Amino acid sequence: MIKNIKDIYRILGKYKWYYIFSTIILLVSIIARALEPKVLQVAVDNVIGKYITGNKITESKNNDVVSRFFDYLLPKLNESNFGEILLLLGIIYMVISLLRSLFLFISSAIKHHSTQSTIFRLRNKMFNHIQHLPLSFFSTISKGELMQRCTGDVDTIKDFIDQQIINFLRLSATFIFSFIMMYFIHPNYAFYSVCLAPFIFVLSYYFFKKEIAVWEEHEKEADKLNSMVQENLNGIRVVAAFSNQEYEIERFKKQNKAKMKMGVKQAKLQAYFWPLTDLICNIQLVISVIIGGYFTLQGDISVGELLGFNSYLGMVTMPMRHLGRILSRMGIALVAMERISEIIEKPLEEDLGEIKTGKLSGKIEFRNVSFTYDGKQNVLEDVSFIIPSASQVAIIGESGSGKSTIIKLLLRFYEPTHGKILIDDIPIQKYNKSFLRAQIGSTFQKAFLFSSTIQQNINYTKMDAMEYEIDAAAAVAQAIEMKDKFNKGFNTLVGERGVTLSGGQKQRVALARTILVNPTIIVLDDTTSAVDTITEKRILNELDNSLKGKTAIIIANRIASIQKASWIIVLDKGKVAQQGSQKDLLKNSVFYQSIQDIQSHLEEEIQLEIAN
């Protein structure tokens, strides 16, 4: 808990001084408020009381320093100036109230500005941190949970530092200053009037600890619910295609009910706690009123002092009533801060590579490389091969054989468990990751597009690209036709994840994006799997010219896609089963021969169907 409090303090940064300044101004406002009942006391005891009794009222036994100060400000009371003094007291009361409101306004303005600035910095810090986390982190947390922490938990912190911190300081100061003013009037009466406060403090702390535990469980259920919604929306077309809406609704209801149960549990805690604290506060008021009446009848305090005391009593009771509510919000905020800290305290992706400039020739070597995602089962095992610079090499194999993992290691999304990867005969760890990735252009089978225009998706790799460069890259990828097909051309919005485009169109846009950056090494991971055969042939012909002088790694399931590869690597269950030229593999590789035979047979059948 202490750590989370320190974390909240730490995120305030330089704005903590603004909060301190805001608090000082707030204290001035509270002091002004504490003076208001004194004005009423002086008006009753020193003016109205004397007027009613014919100026025969006796002085109070407990004439404190504040009351004497107001007496000093007022002219000496006589029969002719009762109204004048009352008017002057009314003006003093109004001035104090106006000053209190002014200081409160200034304090609130500074606080709100500081809160917005603090949350602005926190959101930026979180997003920046997430951008530089290793990819392995994202396999341990769902997108829905991550979004909840970046939005819901941040808003919880915003509410706490904007409202509850200042409220806590305001109520604490109100309690302290009001108690001091009560002490000036009658010390014993002041202590009697807060005698039940310790019970409220102990009770509040007990419920505070209980609520933290409940809210942690509530947020876990909320994470699951958010992940479920996010997953459902991403796969909404699959849900509709299989008419599984009712199944998804039931899943949602079940998880929503689990979240609701934790919410109800928290609500029950508050339902027990708040009425209980209100009851204790009301008992405290009754005790104070009875004792105040007794002291007044005994002549220990005046009627004016009783009136002022009762005003202070309300100001003391209010913090006691609200303490539980503040601790409740504080418990929720501490849980949110812990969840945020779990993100921003995650170690960033290490990058100790010192090579940040220059140009690669494109030679790639995997030397006895093994890799595991979970630390148990190897996805790659003792993989070795060499790809000469400016050559086209194909990697084929069954699904799950480790083809895409090779690319992830090449891009340094992950580090090898064993073995070495070298580029231009230099260990890959010596290259700066940003520099390395800028030299390698990658296009993946599951093409991802941002919810912007076609042009913005293509020039994502080169923001300052000229229109002719974009058109040239699109022409190679056979995406240039979209410029004429859509009314707005390349300015057409593609929707979230490119939902308005077909699978083949998305792949072509993604390919154009890679070609535009003109990398030294280009990786094509089943880039044309969703493209029709005719378009694929056009793309491969155009690529043949574009890939000259570049090192190309082509991962494909279609033999047609790797016809021009000078070297083919066959993977089987994470191992290099065979490698060689296409001619060698047709002679020696049973796996490659079977693929060749199956696909040739399918193409013949398709041609016969077309002919008939």
DSSP assignment of 264-326: HHHHHHHHHHHHHHHHHHHHHHHHHHHHHHHHHHTTSS-HHHHHHHHHHHHHHHHHHHHHHHH
**Range 528-533, long-range pairs (CB < 8 A, 24+ positions):** 528/556, 528/558, 528/561, 529/445, 529/556, 529/557, 529/558, 530/502, 530/503, 530/504, 530/506, 531/478, 531/504, 531/507, 532/504, 533/560
Instruction: Please name every residue paired with 443 in a beta bridge, in sequence order, or none if there are none.
Output: 524
Fold designation for 2-344 = ABC transporter transmembrane region fold (1.20.1560)
Residues of the chain with pLDDT under 50: 57-62
CA Rg value for the chain: 38
pLDDT given for residue 541 in this prediction: 83
Helix, strand or coil, per DSSP, at residue 30 = helix
Residue 539 CA to residue 530 CA, distance in Å, equals 13
The pTM score is 0.75
pLDDT reported for residue 358: 83
Length of the chain: 612
- Residue 284: predicted pLDDT: 87
pLDDT for the residue 57: 44
Q: Which CATH number fits domain 364-611: 3.90.650.10, 3.90.180.10, 3.40.50.300, 3.30.1360.120?
A: 3.40.50.300
- For residues 70 and 312, the answer to whether their CB atoms sit within 8 Å is no
Res 419: pLDDT: 93
Whose CA is closest to 210, among 268, 256, 164, 278? Answer: 268
Task: Give the 3-state secondary structure of residue 417.
Answer: coil
pLDDT at 1: 66
Round to whole Å and give the CA distance between 465 and 476. 16
Q: What is the pLDDT of residues 124-159, one digit of tens each?
A: 999 999 888 888 788 788 788 888 888 888 988 898
The beta strands (E) that lie in 327-406 are given as 364-372, 378-387, 392-397
- 142 near 225, Cβ under 8 Å? no
Question: Domain extents for the chain?
Answer: 2-344, 364-611
Beta-carbon contacts of 63 under 8 Å, excluding residues fewer than 6 positions away, are 71
pLDDT at position 538, please? 85
Identify which of 463, 439, 469, 441 has the alpha carbon closest to the alpha carbon of residue 450: 463
The pLDDT value recorded for residue 53 is 62
Please state whether 412 falls in left (phi above 0), alpha (psi between -120 and 50) or beta: left
